[in-house]
Structure 1
């Protein structure tokens, strides 16, 4: 999976968190969703990010949410960076004119009156909720400014057509909410099931066939990810990211998640609030990184974010 270098998250439906990698770590800025007013900005030092460089944006998001933010109620949804286009301080409008190649493709989610509701990054995940309680998530792929492929298998919608279909079915649709869940299971569009739970080094998972027999399993060493992000990386690693969507299901008795290779019992960590403990472990394992950090003066916190 291609590593994100920049991302925007909608926090509690109130503010946008803009993150972008730079030479000293990840710069951040927040803006009021309704007014566009700049709220805060700063720099997250590289010493607070995974030393191997993986998932730096996700780790920076966690650092902001649980080290720099005082808000206890955290509903996180990823949107396209272009959602900030009308906020001058974000610099997206300027980049659209002078550096258009730096802005990734995205998908507009609108209502039937063409009012913008959300903008989803190309390859992002949306959730659809029906009044009868049914719900599913699916990846969306940008085709052009007015069309997208839902499920990435040729299920093409015009953005207004999709809005009309959703309204006729009284369905809600929005960027998938990133949760703090420690375990979950999904039905994979008729292709089987995926069960995930947290473990000491990240996420332990098992893939099942539709008859509940084990297909495969393993461990994803990335505790900085939410369980939804872990699901997408696992499905992509097994070439199962394309399809009719994922339906969240209850964890039935037949799902017994794979134990670590040494046979020890796994201990679930609260990924969001204790992920820093895991960072300490990873830093100890990377002696060169620790040596460098101990020998250098960290000026990153004094730097302005580079947007």
Structure 2
């Protein structure tokens, strides 16, 4: 590790799923099975060992100890989430540049839009919107600015939510990151491309007037 790089302490579960990371010297909050809580300062030893309070642990040893005792742990000062939510949020954090995008995929009757919403009550969610060509054309007639255009089609569309912590989130998030979109970003370029895609195809007689 580069000496100039900020040392980070990894916290995992007993199956080596990464839950979160904190900086060297920061603290975690441990919630014990009886409901009591305690803050423990953490010191980086190496990538697999850390000093928690007064004791040094292998990161997997600490995870197993906490699980056997029915205790949970999280970065000090953060909300309390269940384990799967913590795994999902850590995945988002590690891949934020790749997941923080608006992607549009062509469908038979329009497009499907997907994007990540970090402000959801669940702590974060992927949003999937089904947008018809008619809705795109209606928005095109009403609005010239991308912000207004995309806001309108978002309100008109039907949506499905994939919340962090649910069974479907991780698989959906990985597919989203790896997939190639037909259009990307809520920009003027994308707005114009969607308008063109949704426009009715001209018939042959429209293109070639009878002589």
TM-score norm. by structure 1 comes to: 0.25
Query: Which of structures 1 and 2 has the bigger CA Rg?
Result: 2
Q: Bigger relative contact order, structure 1 or 2, given CA contacts below 8 A and separation 6+?
A: 1
TM-score of the two chains, using structure 2 as the length reference: 0.35
